[in-house]
Structures are given as structure tokens and as C-alpha cells.
Amino acid sequence: MLGQCRSCPGTWLRGDLGLLAPVLLAARGPPTSPAAALTMAIEKEKKTCGQLMAEWREFVWNPRTHQFMGRTGTSWALILLFYLVFYGFLTALFTLTMWVMLQTVDPYIPKYQDRLSVPGMMIRPKTDTLDVTFNVSNTETWDDYVKMLNDFLEPYNDSIQVATNDVCRPGRYNEQPDNGVLNYPKRACQFNRTSLGNCSGLSDPSHYGYADGRPCILIKMNRVINFFAGANQTMNVTCAAKKEEDAQKLGEMAMFPPGGHIDLMYFPYYGKKVHVNYTQPIVAVKFLNPEANMDHNVECKINAANIATTDERDKFAGRVAFKIRVNRD
């Protein structure tokens, strides 16, 4: 029928395709599955260990192109020069910036003191948690406290104070002008260790009271440059139980110097480089009969005209809170 109707539409095309089908199948070759094709590709690309080592050696040093790790000597020189110039420029820029900034810094007085307008307070012996706990009969529990106090009070020895500091007039600020010379050295006033009385540690068989359960705690006010207490009024430190209902259990306290007094002659402070031998005043509180085997939360604060001690955002501004516990077997 195909041969008799060559003029019928589409008939000749189907007939020709039928004749060409064997040729097309022969051109495609035998059918190949995906797994077989993958195996052939792996076998074709697989290299021996020697070939891999040879390629690695050629990458490190190619004798034909004279390349070391893919670069010629000229290429390596150019890239090293680029990074040398680049990092050299960054170093010079950083150094210049630091130098310009340091020109604006006064080595004697901090440029910004807005966060240091009110002095904070701290205790000695100092612990990480401001917790002073010891057992009266176990010397190992308070030996470190005694050593801390001895080290802290050593510069306050009367002999050292007489040799380095001056006797100042009490009851007024020790203001010292520069006398026309910028950052003129300032004189420091004596603060003698003997003024701490029973908490001085001098000829004290009770080791600051720790051996008999009547411990001493030293309270110091941090240094603030050009700080004035205000209104020419003396300052004093007072201590009490944080909760009024615990006051009776805490017992009586003795303050040294008497009344926890801090004289105005130790102010103002002019800075470490100008006020070289400055000795900051301290106050000692001795707990005379604290109830044993219980925690006592104590707060000490300084009373001065321009020191606010009620700011809850800064619990160390003009005050310090700590815990003391005296254990007895």
C-alpha cells in the first residue's frame, strides 16, 4: 500500500523513517544504563598514586614554566610588594592616629571626670564578695585577713609618714597653687597609723581583734582628683546594720579616729604624678560584741555636704556594704 500511494500526505515520511530506523539505532550504539556510565567515568578519571605525586610536585615547582605554587618569581614579588605596602600603610595610619590622640591626653589629670565626681568606698581586708568570715579558734581562717591589713597599713607607719609627708593644719582644705609652674609638685599631709587606735595593729596581741572575735575593718575612700566635700564641713563615716531589726545582734562598734572623722586637710587630691606621696585617709570600725555563728550585713557611708549616698544605681557611691560572720566552736 505504501508503494501504491506515495502521494498520500504523510505516507512517504512514515515509510522513510521505517527504512532509516535500523541506521539510527546502529548510530546510537548499544544501550547504556546510568550505573554503567558512572563506572566508565570513574575508571576513565582514576589516577595512580604516582600520577598524583607527580602533579603535586609539578604544582610546587613547574620546571617548564618556572612557576612556584602556580606563580612565577615576578608574580610572587609583585604580590608580596603589594601586601608590604598595604600593611605598612595601615600600620603608619594607626600609629599616626594614636599619636594624635595621645597629644590630647593630659598625663596629670584625666580629660573626662564626669563618672568620677563622687568617691566610692571600699574595705580592707578585701575579698571578692566583700564577705569577711572566720573562726576565732582556727587561725588559718583569719591569717590572710591579718596579712592584708599589715600590708595595707605599712605605708601609714609613723616613721614613714614623718619622713615623706608634712604636718598640715587641720580643719581646712589643703589647697596648693601651682605658683606659676604647670603641674607644680604638691605636698601631702601625714596620716599616722597610731590614729587608728585599737585597730592600728601596733603591739596588738589579738591581731586586729580577729583572735578574740572582735574584728577590725578598715574603710577607705577612693581618690577623686580635685574633690571637695563642700561647705568647709568635716566628714565622718558611720556604720550600721543594713536592717534596723539586726542592729542589736550586730552589737556595739567603735570608730577610729574617734567618730569616724576624716579631716579636710587631706583634700583636694591633685593626681598621682603631682601628689606623689599622697596618703588617703582611712577609718577603722571595730565590732565589739557581734553575735556569733550568724551573718551580719553592714553598711558604712560617708556623711558629707555634697556626697549623695542614696543613689540606688551606684551602690558604691559614698558607701559600701559588706557581710561579717564570727564563728565560734
**pLDDT tens digits for 137-156?**
999 999 999 999 999 999 99
Residue 127 has pLDDT above 50, yes or no: yes
Whether the ω angle into residue 22 lies within 30 degrees of 0, i.e. cis, is no
User: Is residue 11 included in any domain, yes or no?
Assistant: no
Helix (H) or strand (E) holding 128: none
Domain with residue 292: its CATH number is 2.60.40.1660
- Choose the weakest-confidence range: 24-28, 203-207, 293-297: 24-28
CA distance 108 to 145: 34
Same domain, 80 and 159: no
In a domain, 286, yes or no: yes
Residues 121 and 177 in one domain: yes
pLDDT digits (tens, 9 = 90+) for 214-240: 999 999 998 988 888 877 778 899 999
Give me the mean pLDDT over the 300-309 stretch. Answer: 85
Flag whether 7 is in a domain.
Answer: no
Distance CA 161, CA 89 (A): 53
**Same-domain pairing of 163 and 53:** no
Q: Say if residue 193 is in the same domain as residue 59.
A: no
Q: Which range marks the domain in which residue 270 is found?
A: 117-327
What percentage of the chain exceeds 70 in pLDDT?
85
Cα angle: 300, vertex 324, 321; to 5 degrees? 30
Residues 6+ apart with CB under 8 A from 64: none
Tell me the pLDDT tens digit for each residue of 93-119: 999 999 999 888 888 877 777 666 778
Q: Within a domain: residue 130?
A: yes
Q: How many domains are contained in the chain? A: 2
Residues 122 and 173 in one domain: yes
Same domain, 240 and 192: yes
pLDDT tier for residue 166 given thresholds of 50, 70 and 90 = very high
Q: Is residue 3 part of a domain?
A: no
| Whole-number average pLDDT of the chain | 84
Same domain as 212, residue 93: no
Residue 8 placed within a domain: no
Report if residue 26 sits inside a domain.
no
